[in-house]
Amino acid sequence: MDYKYITQLLERYWQAETTVEEENILRAFFSQTSIPEELEQYRCLFLYEATQSKTDTLGSDFDSRMLALVGEEESDGVKVKAHRITFKERLYPLFKAAAIVAIILTLGNAAQFSFNGEADSTAPAPYHTVHGTSVAYNDSATIDTLLQRSMDTSSPVDNSELVK
Amino acid sequence: MIKQVSFRNDVLPLKNALYRLALRITLNSAEAEDIVQDTLIKVWNKRESWAEIDSIEAFSMTICRNLALDRIDRRGSHNASIDEQGIDSQDSAATPLEQTQQRDSVALVRQIIDTLPVNQRMCIQLRDFEGKTYKEIAAALDMTDEQVKINIFRARQTIKQRFTQIDGYGL
């Protein structure tokens, strides 16, 4: 395998002419297990560069101490995130309750209606006769006059009764 | 709308990079931890004026560098204590012998870098360990791009030279 590219990169690295990306390539190359002998000596340099970010860190006890110092809440490693609730969302349980009440009322009405409907079907007669007579009244002028007359006869009686 | 800032999400994640920078300057883990603490508090207390700051990270780095340089000035840079903590690197070496050799050589590289002049140490830390661009390093360390490049060039030349020496003696 040809390591010319790596050798060139390394040469430019010493001259401080490599880019960040090229330096990443070098670190990736030197993190391999098999490296040609002439480059082996530089392995520990790039290995150290690549691993320091994992070894030299501050632990969670530092976090707790800092959070206590600035007075920000910490709840045993459980992250508490503020959750914004809009006005609508706040009323949501109310909507739910209202919806339940509406459903119960609708069902109740429907049930009542169906029970009443059953009760009506057992006694269908009066409705029919009422309809029939009203039509007759409307059509007949004689009935109207009869009615008028009966009103005329009845009214003085009523009045006299009232006077008494 | 005012952006909601939180210490946990906006400031605390910077701790490790700041710690490594402070450690590279002071070479003492306890001091570095103190410096990170002070830096984070300072950055947090300035949160009202974050809108005027380009990069919170660069701003934090600058504060951290200043605090760390103050510390080594105060104790005198000549008797810098080299931190003796072990490196627990998860290396890929197969046998315990190889692991030991690798750990030893990593410790050696650390020693080479830690004995560089402080400006070179800071630049090499931000470049080779944190992967920052010259521009970002210049902003964080109050230097020009050119100064950053020169520091990195000199640091790498010294590292290379030390490697050649070690190779000559047989590592």
- What pLDDT digit, counting tens, does each position of A26-57 carry? 999 999 888 888 888 899 999 999 999 888 99
SS3 state at A78: strand
Q: Residues A46, A91: one domain?
A: no
Residues 6+ apart with CB under 8 A from B10: B47, B56
CA A57/CA B14 separation, integer angstroms: 11
Flag whether B131 is in a domain. no
Q: Which residues of A touch B95 (CB under 8 A)?
A: none
Flag whether B53 is in a domain. yes
CA B131/CA A111 separation, integer angstroms: 74
Q: For residue B78, what pLDDT band results from cuts at 50, 70 and 90?
A: low
Of A45, A72, A79, the CB nearest to B109: A45
- With 50 as the cut, is the pLDDT of residue B89 above it? no
CATH code at position B60: 1.10.1740.10
The answer to whether B5 faces chain A, any CB pair under 8 Å, is: no
- With 90 as the cut, is the pLDDT of residue A103 above it? yes
CA B141/CA A97 separation, integer angstroms: 61
- What pLDDT digit, counting tens, does each position of B50-60 carry? 888 888 999 99
Of A16, A62, A72, the CB nearest to B15: A62
Of B23-37, B72-86, B120-134, minimum mean pLDDT range = B72-86
Percent of chain B whose predicted confidence (pLDDT) is above 70? 81
Q: Among residues B43, B58, B52, which one has the least CA distance to residue B6? A: B43
Percent of chain A whose predicted confidence (pLDDT) is above 90? 35
Flag whether B163 is in a domain. no
Q: For residue B19, what pLDDT band results from cuts at 50, 70 and 90?
A: very high
- What the block records as the tokens of B169 is 């003696």
Of B16, B40, B152, the CB nearest to A57: B16
Q: For residue A117, what pLDDT band results from cuts at 50, 70 and 90?
A: low
Q: Which residues of B touch A48 (CB under 8 A)?
A: 89, 106, 109-110, 113
The answer to whether B36 faces chain A, any CB pair under 8 Å, is: yes
Q: For residue B119, what pLDDT band results from cuts at 50, 70 and 90?
A: very high
Flag whether B40 is in a domain. yes
Q: Residues A91, A143: one domain?
A: yes
Flag whether B6 is in a domain. yes
Query: How many domains are contained in chain A?
Result: 2
Q: Residues A101, A144: one domain?
A: yes
Stretch A141-146: mean pLDDT: 61
pLDDT of residue B6: 84
The structure's pTM equals 0.65
- Please indicate whether residue A71 or residue A104 has the higher confidence score (pLDDT): A104
Chain B closest-CA separation from residue A14 CA (Å)? 5
Flag whether A60 is in a domain. no
Flag whether B170 is in a domain. no
- What the block records as the tokens of B119 is 């400006």
Task: Provide the domain limits for residue B3.
Answer: 1-85
Task: Provide the domain limits for residue A140.
Answer: 87-148
Query: How many domains are contained in chain B?
Result: 1
Q: Which residues of A touch B159 (CB under 8 A)?
A: 45
- With 50 as the cut, is the pLDDT of residue B86 above it? no
pLDDT of residue A38: 86
pLDDT of residue A141: 60
- With 80 as the cut, is the pLDDT of residue A81 above it? no
Strand partners, A75: A78
- With 90 as the cut, is the pLDDT of residue A123 above it? no
Flag whether B157 is in a domain. no
